[in-house]
Amino acid sequence: MKSNHIETNTIHAGKVKDKQFGALSTPIYQTSTYVFDSTHQGGARFSGDEQGYIYGRLGNPTVRELEQRMASLEGTDDAAALGSGMGAVSATIFAIVNAGDHIVASNALYGCSYALLDHKCRQLGIDVTFVDITNEMAVRSAIKDNTKMLYAETPINPNLVCVDLDMIARVAKEKGIKSVIDNTFMSPVLQRPVEHGIDLIIHSATKYLNGHGDVIAGIVCGDQEMIEEIKLTTLKDMGAVISPHDAWLIIRGLKTLHIRVERHCQNAQKVAEYLEQHPSIKTVYFPGLPSHDGHRLIGHQMKAGGGVMAFEIDGDFDNAVQFMDQLKMCKIAVSLGDAETLIQHPASMTHSPYEPEDRRAAGISDTLVRLSVGLEHVDDIIEDLHQGLSKAFTGLVKTGS
């Protein structure tokens, strides 16, 4: 069943009824292969004359349900689930571009997406131009005759710059090229790029979709033709397959996605407001704050600011390290969208694949800290940050509160 309410859809949309036993929870089909009744049937499955499963890398009923649920939540025809977010990014890119083609991509991206485009794509003879993707003129002037794809994420990891999806879709449609958006930071609860005309939507399902820090997985959502192309080529032949058990864990996670995301947003809003007034913090990057440039897109393309923010400590690298090392409850870890509050240092961690000057161009300084606000009581999160900030400056002139 499909409702107009995402709260209902995260639970019911795309659910496959268990006709055999009526199980409420989706069965986990933990199998590598499928038995044919006859040689003839096996041949008919391979030729496509008969529908049905063949082999685990080509499809699995538990994985299929996850795909249908995600297509339903993102509002696309179909979806493909993969073994990691990067599996989804690479399968999507290589399904669209070939040697001799050109990609226009955001100069600020998730570190491994950037590395894939900057290193592997170029080695394979795919030309890539990185631009300030929020600047329509820059995007337009980077497009060439052989451009096949516009690639971006919004909000951009880690400094939360927001990209106008209407602009990206308009330029892509005008030029006849595919637009691809990594929607990991928002989840379909807060932002549905297809409603703005974006062609393909990628998720690291490792983050909010699963939400419990126990799975690595990816999803790509889009029209029938593109998803089929990905499944029959770059998923099947490059092989970043998701396990049925991991697909099941994400299906379970999705059922609480809307309430988790709502609480992540509420907590993050309060944490951002606390940090913004703290004397030891120079800048807070969070779209939920009116001071942030992305704030204007809230209510239009995104429902709220999300649960991730970044901030600059008013000090040096050592202060940032000291602050992080003093935290008691918040965990020093990459990843985001989990129940636990996670904190990390992009310059030395997620964005270390960047050359230092490219990192600076992407707005990632050495004192930038990224925070994924968890589901703990917000007072406990703030208290931990507060004591950490106080100790980060102990003995220094710039002591905060």
**Binding site residues, ligand PLP, CB under 6 A:** 84-86, 110, 112-113, 153, 157, 182, 184, 204, 206-207, 216, 218
Nearer to ligand PLP, 157 or 267 (CB): 157
Least Cβ distance, residue 163 to ligand PLP (angstroms): 12
Instruction: For residue 70, give the 3-state DSSP assignment.
Output: helix
Shortest Å, Cβ 350 to ligand PLP: 8
Scanning the structure block, which residue is given the tokens 């399904």? Answer: 95
Q: Closer CB to ligand PLP, residue 74 or residue 382?
A: 74
Whether 207 sits among the annotated catalytic residues: the reply is yes
Which is nearer to ligand PLP, 113 or 365 (by Cβ)?
113
Nearer to ligand PLP, 222 or 388 (CB): 222
Given a contact cutoff of 8 angstroms between Cβ atoms, the answer to whether 189 and 261 are in contact is yes
- Of 78, 182, 338, 384, the active-site residue reads 182
Nearer to ligand PLP, 354 or 393 (CB): 354
Comparing CB distances to ligand PLP, the nearer of 216 and 249 is: 216
**Alpha-carbon torsion (358, 363, 365, 369), positive or negative:** negative
Instruction: Name the catalytic one among 15, 34, 55, 57.
Output: 57
Least distance between ligand PLP and beta carbon 141 (Å): 26
Residue closest to ligand PLP when measured from CB atoms:
85
From 64, 207, 260, 370, the catalytic residue: 207
Q: How far is the CB of 114 from ligand PLP (least distance, A)?
A: 10
Q: Which DSSP letter does residue 397 get?
A: T
Question: Which among 127, 125, 82 is positioned nearest to 227, based on CA atoms?
Answer: 82
270 is catalytic: no
Residue among 85 and 374 whose Cβ is closer to ligand PLP: 85
Round the CA-based radius of gyration of the chain to a whole number and report it.
22
Q: How far is the CB of 245 from ligand PLP (least distance, A)?
A: 16
- Which ranges constitute the DSSP H helices of 221-351? 224-230, 236-238, 244-254, 257-277, 317-326
Min CB(44)–ligand PLP separation in Å: 36
3-state helix, strand, coil in the chain (%, to 5): 40, 15, 45
Q: CA 400 to CA 390: how far, in whole Å?
A: 6
- Measured distance CA(236)–CA(306) in Å, rounded: 33
Q: Measure the CA–CA gap between 284 and 268, rounded to whole angstroms.
A: 12
> What tokens does 255 get?
């059922």
- CA–CA distance from 171 to each of 38, 126, 134, 153, 166 (Å)? 52, 21, 12, 16, 9
- Selecting among 29, 110, 274, 285, the annotated active-site residue is 110
Q: Which residues contact 85 (CB under 8 A, 6 or more apart)?
A: 110, 182, 184, 202, 203, 204, 205, 206, 207, 216, 217, 218
User: Least separation, in Å, of the C-beta of 207 and ligand PLP?
Assistant: 6
Q: Would you say the C-alpha torsion 115, 117, 123, 129 has a positive or negative sign?
A: negative
Smallest distance, ligand PLP to C-beta of residue 240, A: 9
At residue 360, φ and ψ (nearest 5 deg) are -65, -40
Catalytic sites, residue numbers: 57, 110, 182, 207
